């Protein structure tokens, strides 16, 4: 009888445990993207940043810019990530990202939004969709 109760409890708790484990995996990939972004900003890795943009991307700063492609990114790079935005992204705690149906936000104001354009749980491909730099 005790083994039946134990089995029933295990079967009841297993779905909740695996659902939590899936969320942890999602948080881990979000976290890895942020850490990679922070490294790219620290080292001024323009190629990494350009490779992780989802074109066309929006830039809201002193002027609105539609970043249409890599050439547009290269042309506007000096103004896309200002010192205030860079500092906010570098200070972002990887365990405290804001996430909703629009994507994942780094910072508060200014901020960067990114989204998973991968094909499923095994194919996570984050790309930056919006940069809000209101310096």
Kindly report the CATH number assigned to the domain that includes residue 66. Answer: 3.10.450
Give me 34's structure tokens.
């942020």
Give me 127's structure tokens.
């790309």
The DSSP H or E segment spanning 63 is none
Q: Please, what is the Cα angle at 44 between 49 and 130, to 5 degrees?
A: 35
Query: In the block, which residue shows the tokens 């492609």?
Result: 69
Residue 4 within a domain: no
Q: Could you give the number of structural domains in the chain?
A: 1
Residue 24 within a domain: yes
The pLDDT assigned to 44 comes to 93
Write down the pTM of the prediction.
0.77
Of the candidates 58, 22, 36, the one whose C-alpha atom is nearest the C-alpha of residue 125 is 36
Give me 14's structure tokens.
């297993």
The predicted model gives 8-25 an average pLDDT of 39
pLDDT tens digits, one per residue of 63-111: 899 999 999 999 999 889 889 999 999 999 999 999 999 999 999 888 9
pLDDT tens digits, one per residue of 107-132: 988 899 999 999 988 899 999 999 99
Containing structural domain, residue 95: 11-132
């Amino acid at each position: 009888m005790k083994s039946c109760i134990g089995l029933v409890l295990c079967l009841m708790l297993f779905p909740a445990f695996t659902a939590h484990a899936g969320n942890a995996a999602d948080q881990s990939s979000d976290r890895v993207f942020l850490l990679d972004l922070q490294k790219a900003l620290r080292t001024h890795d323009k190629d990494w940043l350009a490779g992780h943009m989802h074109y066309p991307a929006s830039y809201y700063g002193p002027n609105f810019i539609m970043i249409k492609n890599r050439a547009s990114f290269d042309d506007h790079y000096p103004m896309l990530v200002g010192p205030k935005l860079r500092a906010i992204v570098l200070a972002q705690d990887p365990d405290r990202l804001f996430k909703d149906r629009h994507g994942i936000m780094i910072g508060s104001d200014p901020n960067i939004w990114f989204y998973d354009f991968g094909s499923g749980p095994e194919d996570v491909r984050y790309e930056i969709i919006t940069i809000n730099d209101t310096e």
